[in-house]
Chain A
């Protein structure tokens, strides 16, 4: 929910988050996103080494009822994927900002994260929705 938005992450209007660690960012979906999706039962991940593009689909997340596309907050190369989600997709529900992370991306241009929302802006977006 809106009151649990971590202050140290960046956000997109499609409800993905990005944790910036130098040239690499960890990407996941927000608590608001998992809450709207309901019980997550499947996550389709990109392949290791794939190039993903800011604003473009890089995977799919499925709940009991709905299929939703995952949009990348950044452009770069996938350097790690959360394989544990294959066996425990519900981790996205229980720990969206932690063990429920989805991919790690090496940025093609580290400056691109400046364009993402901070926690305050994302919180305002949720309030206005």
Chain B
């Protein structure tokens, strides 16, 4: 039996098509993936992301403990700020990708992927030297409010001055009378918030956002739109673009790896890889022939397999078939060409600058 978020009943009432996602019964779409995608690009969309996991480290030394577990640096940010980071293993490949919230040096809150929740917690428990993690996954529901009108919508429902919450910053407050962590983060490339609240309050918050958002053209959005939105931004998805087989440097996520900070798991491997040269890279490409690249399709050069597509779709906003995949470093430069093996048919593709989608 798949797990259900507190909003499961609300999704069904809205006519969502439900699918099993990482053991959770989740909405993949309500009306149309493209319609929901466009609502987020042009107005505002709501996503139930309550399936995401949360882990908290509290007590003296919390910051140092977490910093030894993740690739980014919590010492470089302020209280009230968050960072995207890799939770890496000794090989410098991914256990998961996470967002770490710094409430204070003694309280760090981490959001992890639903599919990795148990694995991550076990990993953190085993490797945490100092403060022990607490699994808080059952204590939070999470709603993502994303799109150019997200700021206005959330502001009308809260007394917290959201203009003071910059990108990748957060505040604690009330939204629609619901105690929330109001975080200016998201996975769509648009302005927006991720609101964490108690599971019992989730329906109240969801309904208030839907009602108040009518004037903005708000749409509830499913996993389908979430995937096409993030693909257009070349945001990595664990299990597709990043995993325990590819290092953070190969994934093009060097910017979340602070090799000059104190030791963290995976650092030595990445320092060595950087010195030796990264031999394969995750690139974004556009298909110039006819076909849509999909996860798992082979990438060929001169008829020989050289890499693999990790994500691909017809980009609803870029209106082109786009893909993400690993290729040898010599094919990673913008303008490099190769073929995607679309069901046995070679379809030409070219490496392009990402994100694929740029605000008009």
Contact = CB atoms under 8 A, between A and B. Distances in A.
A44 B291 contact: yes
A77 B291 CA distance: 24
A48 interface: no
Given A38-B33, A65-B224, A60 B314 contact: no
Nearest to A89: B314
A64 interface: yes
A50 interface: no
Contacts of A63: 33
Given A64-B33, A64-B228, A41 B314 contact: yes
A118 interface: no
A39 B28 CA distance: 12
Contacts of B28: 65
A64 B17 CA distance: 14
Nearest to A41: B314
Nearest to A64: B33
Q: Bin chain A's interface residue count.
A: 10 to 19
B343 A64 contact: no
A42 B292 contact: yes
B291 A39 contact: no
Contacts of A39: 32-34
A64 B38 CA distance: 13
Given A39-B34, A44-B291, A65 B227 contact: yes
Contact of B32 (A38, A44, A62, A86): A38
A67 interface: yes
B294 interface: yes
Interface residues of B, number: 18
Contacts of B228: 64
B294 A64 contact: no
A41 B290 CA distance: 12
Nearest to B223: A65
B313 interface: yes
Interface in A80-110: 86
A64 B28 CA distance: 11
B318 to A, nearest CB: 12
A64 B321 CA distance: 10
A47 to B, nearest CB: 12
Contacts of A64: 33-34, 224, 228, 313-314, 316
A67 B321 CA distance: 14
B291 A42 contact: yes
Contacts of A86: 290
A22 to B, nearest CB: 33
A67 B228 CA distance: 15
A10 B291 CA distance: 30
Contacts of A67: 292, 294, 343
Contact of A42 (B29, B32, B34, B314): B314
A62 B290 CA distance: 12
Interface string A51-73: 00000000010111101000000
A84 to B, nearest CB: 15
Contacts of B343: 60, 67
Interface string B222-241: 00100110000000000000
A82 to B, nearest CB: 15
A63 B228 CA distance: 12
Contacts of B224: 38, 64-65
A60 B343 CA distance: 10
Contacts of B294: 67
A104 to B, nearest CB: 21
Interface of B: 17, 28-29, 32-34, 224, 227-228, 290-292, 294, 313-314, 316, 321, 343
6 contacts: A39-B32, A42-B314, A64-B34, A64-B224, A64-B314, A65-B227
Interface of A: 38-39, 41-42, 44, 60, 62-65, 67, 86
Given A42-B292, A62-B292, A64-B34, 11 more contacts: A38-B32, A41-B314, A44-B291, A60-B343, A63-B33, A64-B228, A64-B313, A65-B33, A67-B292, A67-B343, A86-B290
